[in-house]
């Protein structure tokens, strides 16, 4: 059993909120620098559709890297496991999420996993669709089903801000195009990728997505299958091995559940069969993870014995 009440959860939020002072909001995407540093919110969506929340849980934020795991789930459905992993590897890198170095040294020349930027860009390139608009529509419709947010959209300011400044991501794309990992027009790919990163929701809606993964791909309300079971498993495994960037090993020891973070401060976490958890805390540690969000999960994991190991 997790917290018995919103008040109990709020007490944990109050306890860890001072940590937000020690981190920094992301500013390499200029629009993200406007975030309020001491924001912190959490929602726990139980697979029986009961929900607990604390903090400003209705505040919207952009998914950023959390979108990588959702788009991977769609690409695997679109192309199949073999096609996807012919082009993207399955191994953690130990490097920052935007690192370019191993693209050159890995043999064969392909991104090491779908949770780093290079791998995620290659995965977005695999989404089926005749046009950039069709690919985007398929992504947003899929995330709408997972979150059950009918009017799900993206933050146009954040997407434009990233598109204007994403020189490193463009470099990764050109490198991969040279090595036949990706094809097509790079600017169109960048448009889809920056929109997927700018998808906006609150931590309650994110927690609901977590509940879908907790149920191995089933909608917690209707029981409908939204993700095939083998794909839900692949996604959760990547969340364990690579979901918290180059802090994934430490997170696995201290918390021990599948999780994926984003530089806007979101964390999607999954306690198999039991809960989906959504967190928003934009103050980040040096590796780009929500500093208070991680502490919050550590406390919850300890108190309620979350670890899957
Ligand atoms: N949109 C961001 C980028 O590509 C996502 C990175 C992240 O959340 N770690 O740089």
pLDDT at 1: 61
**Dist. CA 279–CA 144, nearest whole Å:** 19
Q: How many DSSP H helices and E strands does the chain contain?
A: 13, 8
Answer whether residue 32 shows pLDDT above 80.
yes
**Dist. CA 243–CA 38, nearest whole Å:** 23
In this structure, the chain runs to a length of 309
Read off φ and ψ for residue 33, nearest 5 degrees: -65, -15
Give tens-digit pLDDT for 278-305: 999 999 999 999 999 999 999 999 999 9
Yes or no: say if 257 and 306 are a contact pair by the CB < 8 Å rule.
yes
- ipTM surpassing 0.95: yes
Q: Within 6 Å (CB) of ligand 1, which residues are found?
A: 64-65, 97-98, 117, 162, 169, 197, 262-263, 288
Q: What is the largest CA-CA distance in the chain?
A: 54
CA distances from 90 to 67, 110, 169, 206, 238 (A): 18, 11, 20, 25, 8
Give me the catalytic one of 57, 154, 245, 275: 245
Bridge partners, 295 (sequence order): none
Give tens-digit pLDDT for 93-138: 878 788 877 877 776 778 999 999 999 999 999 999 999 999 999 9
What mean pLDDT is reported for the chain? 95
Give tens-digit pLDDT for 189-246: 999 999 999 999 999 999 999 999 999 999 999 999 999 999 999 999 999 999 999 8
């Amino acid at each position: 059993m997790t917290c018995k009440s919103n008040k109990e959860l709020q007490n944990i939020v109050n306890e860890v909120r001072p940590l937000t002072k020690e981190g920094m909001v992301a500013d390499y995407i200029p629009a993200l620098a406007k975030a309020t540093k001491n924001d912190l919110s959490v929602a726990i969506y139980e697979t029986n559709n009961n929900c607990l929340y604390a903090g400003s849980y209705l505040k919207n934020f952009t998914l950023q890297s959390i979108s990588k795991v959702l788009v991977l789930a769609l690409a695997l459905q679109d192309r199949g496991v073999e096609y996807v992993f012919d082009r993207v590897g399955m191994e953690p890198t130990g490097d920052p999420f935007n690192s370019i170095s191993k693209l050159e040294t890995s043999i064969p020349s392909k991104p090491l996993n779908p949770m780093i930027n290079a791998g995620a860009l290659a995965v977005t390139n695999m989404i089926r669709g005749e046009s950039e608009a069709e690919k985007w529509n398929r992504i947003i419709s899929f995330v709408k089903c997972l979150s059950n947010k009918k009017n799900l959209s993206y933050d146009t300011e954040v997407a434009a801000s990233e598109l204007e400044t994403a020189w490193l991501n463009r470099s990764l794309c050109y490198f991969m195009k040279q090595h036949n990992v990706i094809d097509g027009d790079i600017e169109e790919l960048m448009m889809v990728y920056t929109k997927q990163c700018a998808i906006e929701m609150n931590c309650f809606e994110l927690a609901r997505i977590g509940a879908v993964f907790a149920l191995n791909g089933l909608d917690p309300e209707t029981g409908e299958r939204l993700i095939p079971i083998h794909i839900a498993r692949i996604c959760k495994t990547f969340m364990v091995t690579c979901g918290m960037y180059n802090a994934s090993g430490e997170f696995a020891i201290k918390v021990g559940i599948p999780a994926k973070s984003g530089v806007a401060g979101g964390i999607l976490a999954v306690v198999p069969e039991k809960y989906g958890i959504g967190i928003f805390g934009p103050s980040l540690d040096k590796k780009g993870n929500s500093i208070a969000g991680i502490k919050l999960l550590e406390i919850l994991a300890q108190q309620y014995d979350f670890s899957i190991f």
